[in-house]
Structure 1
Amino acid sequence: MAKVSATDLGSEPIGKLLVKQAIPASVGILVMSLNVLIDSIFVGKWVGSIAIAAINVVLPVSFFIAALGMAIGIGGSSIISRALGAENPEKALTTFGNQITLTILITVGMVIPGLIFVDDIIPSFGGKGAIFDPAKIYYTVVLYGVPFLALCMMGNNVIRAEGKPRYSMIAMIIPTIGNLFLDYLLIHVFDMGMNGAAWATTLSYLMCFAYILWFFLSRNSELKINITHLIPKREIVSEIGSLGFVTLARQAVVSIIYLIMNNILFNLGGEALVSVYAIVGRMLMFVLFPVLGITQGFLPIAGFNYGAKKYARVRESINKSIITACFVGLLVFLIIFFIPDAFTKLFLKSNGTLSPEELKTNATILAKAPDALRMVFAATPIIAIQLIGAAYFQAIGKAIPALLLTLSRQGFFFIPLILILPGIYGETGVWISFPIADFLATIVTAYFLNREIRRTTKLENAV
C-alpha cells in the first residue's frame, strides 16, 4: 500500500488520493464490521438467538461512551488536517494532546455511573424478559474496556488526519482478528457463553490500544507531543467540542433509536423481533463498509485542501466521492434485495438440539428478517449524498450545518417516523421508516451542499 504524507493531500490527483485514503478506510471498516457480524454469528450459533438480542441491547450504551472518543477524534482531526494544510504544526500538536486528555477524563467519568446503574439501564434499552440476564453479563464486562475503545477511535482518526491510512487500517484489523480468535477460544472451546463473548470483545480493545500507542511513540507519527500539549486550552477544547459534537450527537441519536426500536419491536413481537432488528443492524454495519470508507477517506482530503484554499480540489473531491459511493451503494442494494435469506440464516443456531422455544424464535426470524432487510436498504443507492454532504461541513470546520445535516436523517426524520408509522402499519411501518428518512435527508443535504459548493466557487474566483 502506497504511503501518503500530509502534504500529498494537497498535491496528488484527487482520484488517486481518494483511492489511497478510501481503500484502507474501507478495509478497516470492513474488518471492524466483520468483527461485529461474525461475533454475532458465533454468539447466535453457539449461545442462541436471544444472545444476539442481548448484545443489541448493550451496543447503544457501550458505543455511545466509545463514541465520545470518536467525537473527540473526528472533531480534533478536522482541526489537525486544516492546521497541517495551513502549516501550523504547533496547533496540530496542542489539539492532539488535548484530545488525549479529554478522551480519558470523559469516558472514565461515563463508565463509572454506567456500571452503578446497570440494572436500570439495560431494561430501558429493551433488555427485558429472557434478554435481561445475558445482556447484563455482556454489558458489565464490555464496559471495562470501553475507555480503551474510545482512545482507539480517537487515535485512529488522528492517524488518518496525518495522511497515514495504512496504519489506521491495521489498527482496525488487529482487534477484529483478536476478537474472532478469542470468540472461538472462549465461547466454543472453553464454553464460557456470554462471558466469553464479552471478554473476547474487551481484550480485543486492549490489543487495538496497544498498537495505536506504539504508532504514536514510534517514528511513524509526525505528532510528537510533550506534557504541555496535554494541558487543556479553552479555544482548542471549544473547537474540538463544537466539531466533535456532530459525531456525538449522531451517536446519541443512534442510542435513542436503539432504545425506541428495541422497545417498540419487543411490544410488537417479543424477543424474536428484537433479534430481527439485531440482524438488520449488523447488516447495516457490514455491507455499507465501502460507502463509509469513501466518506472517511474523503474527510482529510477535503479538510486539508480547504485549509490550503485549494477550492477546485475541494469541489473535485466532493464530486468524485459522491459518484463512486452512490455506485457502490447501488451494488449493495442489489445484493441485499436478491439474497436476504442467505444473510439471515448465518445468524441462526443450527448445531445441536434446539428447544421448542428456540425453534419458534428461529422460524419467526426466518419469516420476517428478509423482507425487513429489503425495505431497510431500499434507499442505499442515494445514501452517499447525505453521508458525504454532512461530512464535508464537518471537514471544513462548519459545526452547525454539519450537526443539523447529520441529525436530519436519524433525528429529524427517522425518530418521528418510527413513532408514527408502526401505529398505522405495524411491523412494516418500522422498516419503511428507514428508506423514507434516508430519502428526505438526502434531499435536504443535497440542497445545502450545492449552496456551499457555489460559495466556494466564488472564493476560488476571488483568489
Structure 2
Amino acid sequence: MAYKSEFLGTEDVKKLLVKLSIPAIIGMLIMALYNIVDGFFIGRWVGTYAFTGISLIFPFQMMIMAFGITFGIGGASLLSRKLGEGNLEYARKAGGNAISSVLILSILITIIGIIFMVPILNLLGTSADVFPYAKDYYEIILYGTVFSSYLIAANNLVRAEGMAKVAMFAMVVPAIINMILDAVFIIVFNMGIKGAAIATVLSQVIGVIYIIKHQFGKNTSIKYAFDDFIINLKIFKETIFIGASEFAKIIMSSVLVILGNNLLGIYGGDIAIAIYGVIMRIAMIALMPVLGIVQGFQPIVGYNYGNGKLQRVSESIKLALLGTTGLSLLGFILIMVFPEKFIQIFITDPEVITQGVFATRAFFIFSFLIGAQMTIGGLYQSLGKAKPAFIISCARQTLFLMPTLIILPIFFGLNGIWFSFPIGDLLGFTLASGIIFKDRKSLNLSI
C-alpha cells in the first residue's frame, strides 16, 4: 500500500535532510520568538523589573512545554517507525494517544498551577519588586497551557509524517501574529506585561487551529478514527518511555534555571537574573537552528531504521552531525565577537549590558560542542533507544552542571555560576561521544 510518507525511504538523503531541516529550522526559530519577542518588547518598553519577571517565569513555561514535547517526540518516534514498517493502524494510534495524553495533562497542569500560584512564584525566585510583574505574566500564560502543549506535540507528529512545511507554518503564522499583537498591546494600548502574555496565548490558539486543520484534513498519511484517541496503556508506556529523555532534560533544565535564578539573586541580585534571562534568549537564537536539523533528520532515521535501510540511517547521521556542528560553531563565533549586540536586542539598561558581556562570553565558551551532543541524543530518540537517550539528555544537567552550579559560587562568587555552564557542555559532549562510539557496531551503523 502506497502512502504519503514513502519518500522518507526513497529520496536522496542529502536532499531529504535539507528538505526537512530548513522548514524545521525556520519553525524552531519562529517558536523561539514566542519568548524572545515578549522579552524584546518588555525589556525595551516596560523595564528591567518586568523583564526579570518574565525571565523568572521562563522555567515554568519550559515545564509546560516538557509535556507537549514528551508526547510529541515519543509519539513521533513511534509513528515514523511504524510508518516505515507499513503498520498504519499502529501509527494512527500512536498519534491519537499522544494527542489525548497531552490534552488531559495540560488541563491538570492548569488546575494545579492555579491552586498553587503563590508558592510556585515564590519557588521561582521572585523578589518583592518583581512579584507583581511575574504574577501578571504567569496567570495569563497558565490559561494557555492546553494550546501551547497541543501545538508542540502536534507539530512533532506532523513532522514525523514528513510534512515539514506544515509544521513550519504552524509556528510561523502564530509567531508573526504574536509580534504584531505584542506591539499593539504593549506600545499602543500600554498593557505592559499582561499585553505580552495575552498576545502569546492568542497566537498559540491560532497555531492550534491551523495544525488541527491539517491533522484532520485530506493531505495526511494519518487518517485518525475515534478509537485512536482512546488511551492504550501499551502505547502510552512506549510513548512515555521514548519521550522520557526529553522530558527529563527539559524538567532538569527548568530546575537548573530556577536554581540559577535563586543563586543569582543571592550573588548578584535582580540585575544578574536579568542578565541570565538575556543569555537564555541568546541561547535560544543560537540553538534553535541546530535543533531544527535534529528534528529534520529524526523522521529519516526513524522511518529508515523501521524499514531496515541502515545505510540511509548512517548517511543521515553523518550529514546531521556536520550541519549541527557547523551551525554551533557559527553561533559561537558570532556571540564571542559581538556579545553587546546580542544583549542590546533585549534590553537597554547600561548596567545589564556592561555586566552581561563577560557573563555571555563565559556562558558560551564550549557552545560549539552542543550541536553534536544534541544530534546524538536525537538519534537515540528516533531509534527508540530510551536508556541512552535518557542518559545523554540528563547527564549534562544532573551529573555535571548541577554540582558545579552549587559548588563553584562558594569559591568564585557570581563568576562561578557563569563558568558552570561551559563545564557542563564539555562534559556532556564527552559522554555523548563516548556512548555513540561504543554503540556504533551494535547498532550496525557506519559512523
TM-score (norm. length: structure 2)? 0.97
CA distance in 1, matches of 2:65, 2:293: 22
Q: Deviations over 1:258-283 (max 9, x none)?
A: 11011000111111110000000000
SS at match of 1:457: coil
Give unpaired runs (5+ residues) of structure 2: none
Give the equivalent residue in structure 1 for 2:442: 455
Q: Deviations over 1:375-429 (max 9, x none)?
A: 1111122211211111111100011111111101122211111111111111211
Q: In 1, are the aligned partners of 2:81 and 2:305 still within 8 Å (CA)? A: yes
CA distance in 2, matches of 1:450, 1:313: 19
Give the equivalent residue in structure 2 for 1:123: 122
Give unpaired runs (5+ residues) of structure 1: 350-361
Q: Deviations over 1:5-57 (max 9, x none)?
A: 42111111211111011111101111122332222111111110111111111
Q: How does 1:145-160 map to 2 (within 5 A)?
A: 145-160=144-159
SS at match of 2:346: coil
SS at match of 2:231: coil
Does residue 342 in structure 1 map to residue 326 in structure 2?
Answer: no
CA distance in 2, matches of 1:347, 1:443: 33
Identity percentage of aligned residues = 35
* 2:207 alignment partner AA: C
Choose which of 365, 376, 392 in structure 2 pairs with 1:389.
376
Q: How does 1:19-98 map to 2 (within 5 A)?
A: 19-98=18-97
Give the equivalent residue in structure 2 for 1:412: 399
Give the equivalent residue in structure 2 for 1:423: 410
Give the equivalent residue in structure 1 for 2:275: 276
- Deviation at 1:439? 0.8
Residues 420, 311 of structure 1: alpha-carbon distance in 2 compared, 3 angstrom cutoff: same
* 1:455 alignment partner AA: S
Q: How does 1:31-430 map to 2 (within 5 A)?
A: 31-349=30-348, 362-430=349-417
CA distance in 1, matches of 2:65, 2:332: 29
Q: Deviations over 1:164-222 (max 9, x none)?
A: 10000001112211111110111110111111111111111111111111111221222
- Deviation at 1:457? 2.5
Does residue 440 in structure 1 map to residue 420 in structure 2?
Answer: no
* 1:12 alignment partner AA: E
CA distance in 2, matches of 1:381, 1:343: 17
Give the equivalent residue in structure 2 for 1:355: none
Give the equivalent residue in structure 1 for 2:12: 13
* 1:154 alignment partner AA: A
SS at match of 1:265: helix
- Deviation at 1:339? 0.7
CA distance in 1, matches of 2:211, 2:169: 9
SS at match of 2:443: helix
Q: In 2, are the aligned partners of 1:5 and 1:164 still within 8 Å (CA)? A: no
CA distance in 1, matches of 2:404, 2:201: 35
Q: In 1, are the aligned partners of 2:34 and 2:200 still within 8 Å (CA)? A: no
* 1:108 alignment partner AA: I
CA distance in 2, matches of 1:317, 1:327: 15
CA distance in 1, matches of 2:367, 2:10: 32
- Deviation at 1:101? 1.2
- Deviation at 1:447? 1.2
TM-score (norm. length: structure 1)? 0.94
CA distance in 2, matches of 1:457, 1:248: 28
Q: In 1, are the aligned partners of 2:327 and 2:371 still within 8 Å (CA)? A: no
Residues 204, 309 of structure 1: alpha-carbon distance in 2 compared, 3 angstrom cutoff: same
RMSD: 1.4
CA distance in 2, matches of 1:393, 1:189: 48
- Deviation at 1:363? 3.2
Give the equivalent residue in structure 2 for 1:354: none
